[in-house]
Structure 1
Amino acid sequence: MGLNDHQSEWKRFSKSFLFAWNGIIRTVKHERNFQIHLFISLIILLSGSILSLSRIEWIILLFLIGGMLSLELMNTALERAVDLITKDYHPLAKAAKDAAAGAVLVYALLSVIIGLIIFIPKLI
């Protein structure tokens, strides 16, 4: 492999980060649900700082927040892909979008339950 091949690989690799960042920024700007999740995440991070969480509690919360935001990004991607394929109502398109939204809801509920388990004892 020559020097130009390595430079080309590095350029493609670095561009992939730019594309990912652009996807996150676009989602932050245009998706209300993502904005809500981001706002709640900031409140949780602030609350965790105030309540002096343990290292393991921080790790759990960061995984929950990262998972939630990642799942919301995937939900948005799936919705956009379905919309690209058809603007018309189709039962399979609806089923795909509903299932992706359902996955977000399941994870959000799990996150709330775990968050309550972590925060309630700190508040009592």
Structure 2
Amino acid sequence: MKALFRSFKYAFEGIFYCLKTQRNMRIHFIFAAGVTLAGVYFKIEMTEWLALFITFSLVITSEMFNTAIEKAVDLSTMEYDERAKVAKDVAAGAVLLNAVVAVFVGVFVFWGRLWEEVIRWMN
């Protein structure tokens, strides 16, 4: 049981490390919080919550993997190496793709509701 708690401790240390040191991780969390508040405000459906939480998870975990890959690559070489660059670029690209998908999901979930809100305010 002690080993299980220790593994959770290490996992939380990794999350907090990313939040403390990675600007983009903080940005992802801020957007996730904002979208969550919007979901509460607009009373979105359960399936929409599921889509949003899956995309939050994909973006945040890919950012964490990106950080881990960057740190491992930095540990492996102090000199410029094209393979190290490719590893870092591919990891960053994965984050970007997940973030773009998250934006599309957010637009899909909120566009109609936001438009209705704008129309309501204008009248």
Give the TM-score, by structure 1 length: 0.90
- In the alignment, structure 1 residue 104 sits paired with structure 2 residue 104: no
Per-residue deviation, 1:114: 1.3
Per-residue deviation, 1:121: 1.1
Partners of 2:13 and 2:94 lie apart in 1 by: 24
Give the TM-score, by structure 2 length: 0.90
**Equivalent residue, structure 1, for 2:118:** none
- In the alignment, structure 1 residue 65 sits paired with structure 2 residue 56: yes
Per-residue deviation, 1:68: 0.9
Give the ranges of 4+ consecutive aligned residues of structure 1 lying more than 2 Å apart after TM superposition: none
**AA of the residue aligned to 2:87:** A
Per-residue deviation, 1:40: 0.8
Q: How many residues align?
A: 115
Per-residue deviation, 1:115: 0.9
**Equivalent residue, structure 1, for 2:69:** 78
Q: CA RMSD in A?
A: 0.8
Q: Sequence identity of aligned pairs in percent? A: 37
Unaligned runs of 5+ in 1: 1-9
Unaligned runs of 5+ in 2: 116-123
What do the CA deviations read for 1:28-84 (whole angstroms, capped 9, x no partner)?
011011011111111111111111101110111011111111111111000000011
What do the CA deviations read for 1:2-38 (whole angstroms, capped 9, x no partner)?
xxxxxxxx22222111000000011101101101111
**Equivalent residue, structure 1, for 2:120:** none
Higher RCO, 1 or 2 (CA under 8 Å, sep at least 6)? 2
